[in-house]
Amino acid sequence: TEVFPVWAHLVVNPMTWALCYLLPLDILFSTWFGSAVIFLLPSYLAYLAGAYPGLEKTGWRPGPLGSKPPFKWTPVWMGMFWGVLLIWFILNAGYIRRTFTTKITPEDRKRALPFVVCWVLIIVSTLVILGLITVAGATFISAIAIVFTMWLQYFSGARAYGYAGLPGNAWFCPIDWWYLPYITKYTVGIPPHAMTPEEEKAFAAGVGMDYVTAMNLGNRYTANILGDINTLYGVAFAIPTCYALARETGTHPLDVTKVMIVAGIISAIIGWTMAVQLGYSLGVHNTPMKRFDAWWGGAFLGARGWTGRPAEEPWIPYAIAGVIFACILGYLRMTYARWPLDPIGVALGINNAAASYFIPALVAWIVKLIVLRVGGTKVYEDYTVPLAAGFVVGYFIMAMMGPIIGAIKFAVGA
């Protein structure tokens, strides 16, 4: 509203409300507290002091809130996820060191693959990906930036996803097109300062294959395979989920690995073949957006637009501040049993300067507290959790029907 313009989103998707009930209490508290006290209150005070002029008339309010001073919430939000990943590496440093071995031990029989095989696969596949991007037209430096960015954003997002959950929701973690090329854009010559239309025209005159390839492959064309911002479906989230499910069901990790490799190969071959066949037989231009889910593609190439993303320069100090903030919250959470704030929950509360989960998290937290205190864990586990989980599963099944019906309608006509 114009009265309180710093609050951009109110979630109306019922699945989000049910999913929030399944989150841990500390995550729920951290989410609504992070939204209200850490993001909304300071932003509103800054707005009253003169920051974000015209925000009350702005349609897309996370834009100025996330990219403009005094807070530049988007890079802070990104940095918090990097901080969560850094905490994970620090806590698991000993385990990671043990993976650097060429010995194959009896313990390897319990794993998906021996450590040495895993590292060989990581190195070889990374080199192959770098080679493919380079052959496609990007420079090797741009290829490195693309791979590193995807790894950083999706690894940190998957870590938060594994701890807190909340699939099927937009902006759980920073993996949208605003954030993904934040390193790649510098490798193709986009200046750190804002460009005038004349400067952009002069810049565009010298654009070559590297720019077009890097700015496209450094964005959703690559990212959507790893995970879509609106759903969190993709291999970055599906693969660890499969191994977690294997652990819960007693399935050997190697069997899961074999199934995923076979499924990946088959789906890649069938998916690409079908996409090409549909494009030539039915016409890509006949799809609702006249492309295969790529209406945003044109936004990847305009150089002037990238000078303000993920925020106005300089934005890296704000991202570093987010890393430090997350590490401080993580340290306090692990050191003091009564410390209530978790860095993942606070990051979810900031939610790319949108505070989308403020009300769902607050309501879920209140309802969950009432259920646990009145009915105890038995009522919570035997009744309310199955009810919420059943609603989510039913909602997903319902959502699956839309694409199936849409595909039939597209093929046979209205």
The per-residue pLDDT for range 191-228, each reduced to its tens digit, is 888 888 888 888 888 888 899 899 989 988 888 888 87
Residue 371 lies in a domain: yes
Location of structure tokens 């996330």? 66
Residue 243 lies in a domain: yes
Residue 5 lies in a domain: no
User: What's the pLDDT at 413?
Assistant: 64
Those residues with Cβ within 8 angstroms of residue 187's Cβ, 6 or more apart along the chain or in another chain: 139, 141, 142, 145, 214
Total domains present in the chain: 1
- Decide: 16 and 358 in contact? Cβ < 8 Å: no
**Size (the chain), residues:** 414
Whether pLDDT at 317 is above 90: yes
The first and second tokens of residue 33, run together, are: 């507290």
Residue 313 lies in a domain: yes
Torsion of CA 297, 301, 303, 308, to 10 degrees: 30
Residue 106 lies in a domain: yes
Domain encompassing residue 323: 14-412
What percent of the chain has pLDDT above 70? Answer: 93
Q: Where are the alpha helices (DSSP H) in 188-234?
A: 197-205, 209-217, 220-226
Number of H helices, E strands in the chain: 20, 0
What CA–CA distance (Å, rounded) separates 129 from 309? 26
Residue 215 lies in a domain: yes
Residue 2 lies in a domain: no
pLDDT top residue among 408 and 94: 94
User: What's the pLDDT at 299?
Assistant: 64
The first and second tokens of residue 12, run together, are: 């109306």
What percent of the chain has pLDDT above 90? Answer: 52
Residue 1 lies in a domain: no
The per-residue pLDDT for range 288-304, each reduced to its tens digit, is 666 665 556 666 667 88
The per-residue pLDDT for range 92-145, each reduced to its tens digit, is 999 999 999 888 888 888 888 899 999 999 999 999 999 999 999 999 999 999
What CA–CA distance (Å, rounded) separates 84 from 326? 6
User: What's the pLDDT at 105?
Assistant: 84
The first and second tokens of residue 23, run together, are: 């989150």
User: What's the pLDDT at 267?
Assistant: 87
User: Which long-range contacts does 287-296 make (Cβ < 8 Å, 24+ apart)?
Assistant: 287/410, 293/224, 294/220, 294/221, 296/177, 296/220
User: What's the pLDDT at 296?
Assistant: 63
